[in-house]
Amino acid sequence: MIRMTCMAMTLACWVATAQAAPLITPTEAALPAASGAMATRGITRGPAVKLVSPQTDHAVKGPFDWKVQFEARGGEKIDPSSVKVTYVKSPFVDLTPRIQSAISAEGINFEKAEVPPGEHVLRITVKDSAGRETNSTMTLKVEK
């Protein structure tokens, strides 16, 4: 009986992870664009933030795997608890709680992300163990 219960729980977890999950909802996508320029700093010793997937120069169909890589500098470590992902709309939408399990010191690996068609600007904030912060914006282009 215990063995069957464990097998059923394992199967349920596998099925849950195989399904697509909303990164941005249609309601959030319908919000007005944020006005004004997003302030970012120029040269920084803070962590590097690089979009791995999908490629920024190509539109993608959903669901897709959204992967972002973090790279600490100067021998420091990434502080995963400092990562914040914001959908740049008016008002801003904090996406961090829904992707928390996909965040690690290496980056973000959010599989099977559901995003409505359109261009979506995301801001990622990350700090290293020395407290140095990087704010990076990226645009996801999603087609029907």
Q: What is the mean pLDDT of each run of 10 residues along the chain (144 residues)?
A: 43 50 96 75 79 88 95 95 97 97 98 96 97 95 92
Residues 41, 24, 94, 103, CA torsion sign: negative
Q: What is the pLDDT of residue 37?
A: 57
**What is the per-residue pLDDT for 144?**
85
Domain boundaries, the chain: 20-143
Domain made up of 20-143: CATH architecture? Sandwich (2.60)
Residue 29 to residue 117: CA distance in whole angstroms = 9
**Quick one: which of 8, 34, 134, 52 has its CA closest to 90?**
34
Task: Report how far residue 131's alpha carbon sits from residue 70's, in angstroms, rounded to the nearest whole number.
Answer: 15
